[in-house]
Amino acid sequence: MIAEAALAAVVHLSPTCTDPTVRVLHSAGFRGRALRYAYGIVMRESKGNPRAVSPRRADFGLFQWNRAAWSRATWWDERQLLDGAYSAAVAFRVSQGGRTFYPWDINGRGYHLKRYSSTSTYRVWVKYVQAFPC
């Protein structure tokens, strides 16, 4: 009984949450803290626009998948990456089920890895995580 209640709490998204970005991320499998972190990344990277493309056509979709870093991956398809559900599903897989967000320089506990992004970029992510709408 306790396990069933815990499972229900993990997979439940409040019916009052109408934010389309959160719904796409939840449908891809993100839950709890990972859902908040993924939301922060998406808002930082694309402002929640699944069709976002960087000015030099180097970064694509919700998570702004970088062509130079990922174009050899089996899942790379520029058109599909502009579909929010596909981009979120790829992010869920790349993040190992929401356990690490290393491609965005953030670990699974929300700490800045400081490998290739600035502190100010990290602070923008923190701002979006704190503003999680659901």
For residue 13, tell me if it sits in a domain. Answer: no
Residue 9 confidence (pLDDT)? 39
Beta-carbon count within 10 A of 34 CB: 20
Domain-embedded: residue 69: yes
User: What pLDDT is attached to residue 35?
Assistant: 98
Q: Is residue 102 within 8 Å of residue 80, measured between CB atoms? A: no
Asked whether the beta carbons of 26 and 79 are under 8 A apart, the reply is no
- The reply to whether 14 falls in a domain is no
What is the model's pLDDT at position 4? 36
Which residues, in sequence order, are CB contacts of 57 under 8 Å at separation 6+?
Answer: 67
Asked whether residue 26 is domain-assigned, the answer is yes
- pLDDT recorded at residue 108: 86
Structure confidence at residue 5 (pLDDT): 34
For residue 11, is it within any domain? Answer: no
Q: How many alpha carbons lie under 13 Å from residue 64 in its C-beta half-sphere? A: 20
- Positions of the chain with pLDDT under 70: 1-15
- Quickly tell me which residue has 């702004």 as its tokens: 64
Q: Which domain holds residue 51?
A: 20-130
Asked whether residue 39 is assigned to any structural domain, the reply reads yes
Put residue 23 in one of left, alpha, beta given phi > 0 → left and psi -120 to 50 → alpha. alpha
Q: What is the model's pTM?
A: 0.87
How many other CB atoms are found less than 10 A from the CB of residue 119?
Answer: 8
Domain count, the chain: 1
Question: What pLDDT is stored for residue 13 in this prediction?
Answer: 66
Residue 105 belongs to some domain of the structure = yes
